[in-house]
Structure 1
Amino acid sequence: MANDKKEQADAPRQRTALLLVAIAVIGVLMMLAGELLLDSVILSRLGSYVALAGGAVYFLLRRRGRSRKGEETG
């Protein structure tokens, strides 16, 4: 029963992490499309910013989650 509650509590975090990874992947695809297919500097630069932002927020949220888990158990 405690595991079910923990899984339910972790579900929003998992959805958020999945969304951020999807944003980063979309940014990489935009960057590749801008460079290789469309030869568009604007699309390529925008894609790199989107990928960087998605990856950075994902990294920061993971790091914050680890520090919280350490506080609870330690």
Structure 2
Amino acid sequence: KVADIAAKWFAVATLLNVFAGIDYNLGILITGVITLVYCTIGGLWADALTELGQFVIQGAAAIVMIVVVLHKLGGISAVWTM
């Protein structure tokens, strides 16, 4: 879990560096402070809502990806005959 959070913070810091020119270390610090404040104020409920939002977005992306891939391959029947 720690490596997962570190990777997410680094990803946000990378976006901040590319789009706003903010140093990586400062970007990670900003991300950590915002996360800390968000979780402290909102508590477990805020964390649960964030996880739900991620689930919905990833689920929708998976469905779209499956539809696009099946369309590109010629449908389910074409996949079964490969």
Q: TM-score range by the shorter chain?
A: 0.3 to 0.5
Larger relative contact order, structure 1 or 2 (CA cutoff 8 Å, min sep 6): 1
TM-score of the two chains, using structure 1 as the length reference: 0.46
Answer with 1 or 2: which has the greater Rg.
Answer: 2
TM-score of the two chains, using structure 2 as the length reference: 0.42
